[in-house]
Amino acid sequence: MTSMISASVIDADNEGRLAALRTDYDRLGETLARRGIAIDDIKRKVAAYGVAIPSWGVGTGGTRFARFPGAGEPRGIFDKLEDCAVIHELTRATPTVSLHIPWDKVGDLSALKQRGDDLGLGFDAMNSNTFQDQPGQGRSYKFGSLSHTDAATRAQAVEHNLECIEIGKALGSKALTVWVGDGSNFPGQSHFIRAFERYLDAMKSIYAALPDDWRIFTEHKMFEPAFYSTVVQDWGTNYLIAQELGPKAFCLVDLGHHAPNTNIEMIVARLIQFKKLGGFHFNDSKYGDDDLDTGSIDPYRLFLVFNELVDAEVSGAPGFDPAHMLDQSHNVTDPIESLMVSATEVARAYAQGLLVDRKALGGYQQDNDALMASQTLKAAFRTDVEPILAMARLESGGAIDPVACYRASGYRAKVAAERPAVTSGGGGIV
């Protein structure tokens, strides 16, 4: 195993924080014990929790107006893996990486797999890319990919997805995530029904090539890059796709891909109930698909999503096994810091979800006691679970304060000296 941050750096940073953490953890343990909750049980579950890092997240994203590259940006997938390893070593919450093809394409897949093993990182869902044209590609995706009016363009997009599956098989991935930018910018430009029929036909070809132990996730998005209609626009269409394709097909919920104020936690509950929740792209937004850091705008909404997930977990909902991934674009922060904070925010929402008194909540729901039902959720959300998160990190070999430890390590300055600036690192908003 290779470590990007030496254990001595982590130990040194933890040392000065240890006594305060023990005090805070014990005090919280007493508080939770009065509520009938064993803090060590929560800590164990949090320690076992993991969320995948998107390989494209460790580069600076940007907007359609500009991109302001940071120092020491990764030059390719091997650099990206090292940055992802830093995030996992300090947070102990991100054991896997989700790749994007062709951004992360390499000639030697066994070397990539080996490097992942060296760094203690596994490979989560593969992501295909038919929303932009690649060098040397025969057909353009300007007017769509899997739903394109031209059969040869659709075939090219199918072929690319099959290649993603082959790459994923070599890396130990077990899922393919498909998001297409297909849609229209003007009323009348596209025939809604025919376009969706073409998309479903193409997806059936991809589904047929899926190994038995793989899943395929389709990701809906209401707008952008198409600004009038999108072929896979919402969870309803996404559910229809999963139904049409079969038992290995599931819906992926990207928190940013909905209209403002959409009740996302209710969408999550519906997909759980009908066994089609595939997973998440966690991020946050104020206006649209802003791809802001998870939990930075509306942490209560994130908690409410996790409230549904924990409810399914503790009730043993059949077939419930969603993939958890981050999907953010970092424009003004160090991506490693943002991803560490976001992984922590997701784990925080999970811990808070575990604190909900579900027996009491069920009683208040049965009795139509709206106020106390709401207060039961708020009691869990208001609990400061930071000592649980920090103790779980510490006992797994991570940092009590990941951002402080990362800054103390000097990692960014070190890679800035090693990695010459590049014009494109394959970052972006997806």
For residue 10, give the nearest of 424, 399, 290 by alpha carbon: 399
List the helix and strand counts (H, then E) for the chain: 16, 11
**Which range in 186-194, 240-248, 276-284, 334-342 contacts Mn ion by CB under 5 A?**
276-284
Sheet holding 122-123, edge to edge: 53-54, 96-98, 122-123
Residue 249 β-bridge partners? 216
Out of 281, 301, 324, 348, the residue judged to bind Mn ion by CB under 5 A: 281
In this chain, which stretch among 19-27, 69-77, 155-163, 274-282 interacts with Mn ion, using CB under 5 A?
A: 274-282
Which range in 130-138, 325-333, 347-355, 402-410 contacts Mn ion by CB under 5 A? 325-333
CB of 430: closest distance to Mn ion in angstroms? 5
- The stretch among 1-9, 76-84, 275-283, 374-382 that binds Mn ion (CB under 5 A) is 275-283
Nearest approach in angstroms of CB 265 to Mn ion is 18
One DSSP character per residue, 380-406 reads HHHS--HHHHHHHHHHTT--SSHHHHH
Residue number with CB closer to Mn ion (70 or 279): 279
H helical segments located in 174-298: 192-208, 235-245, 264-273
Tell me how far, at minimum, the Cβ of 13 lies from Mn ion, in Å: 33
- Tokens read off for 151: 């059969």
284 touching Mn ion, by CB under 5 A: no
The nearer residue to Mn ion, 54 or 387, going by C-beta atoms, is 54
Please give the size of the binding site for Mn ion, defined by CB under 5 A.
3
Q: Is 258 in the site for Mn ion (CB under 5 A)?
A: no
CB of 296 to Mn ion, least distance (A): 16
Stretch that binds Mn ion, among 199-207, 251-259, 296-304, 351-359 (CB under 5 A): 251-259
Q: Are 388 and 351 in contact (CB under 8 A)?
A: yes
**Residue 221 Cβ vs Mn ion, minimum distance, rounded to whole Å:** 8
Residue 151: DSSP 8-state? H
Containing 110, the helix (H) or strand (E) segment is helix 109-119
Identify residues 62-101 at the interface with Mn ion (CB under 5 A). none
Cα 88 from Cα 83, distance rounded (Å): 9
Rounded to whole angstroms, the Cα distance separating 63 from 223 reads: 16
Out of 89, 104, 327, 337, which residue is the one contacting Mn ion (CB under 5 A)?
Answer: 327
Whether the CB-CB separation of 174 and 126 falls below 8 Å is answered with no
Least Å distance between CB 219 and Mn ion?
6
Q: Name the one range near Mn ion by CB under 5 A: 43-51, 68-76, 90-98, 247-255.
A: 247-255
Q: 353 or 428, CB closer to Mn ion?
A: 428
Torsion of CA 17, 18, 21, 23, to 10 degrees: -120
Residue 348 backbone phi and psi in degrees, to 5: -65, -45
- Asked whether position 254 contacts Mn ion by CB under 5 A, the answer is yes
Closest approach of Cβ 281 to Mn ion, in Å?
4
Which stretches of the chain bind Mn ion, using CB under 5 A? 254, 281, 327
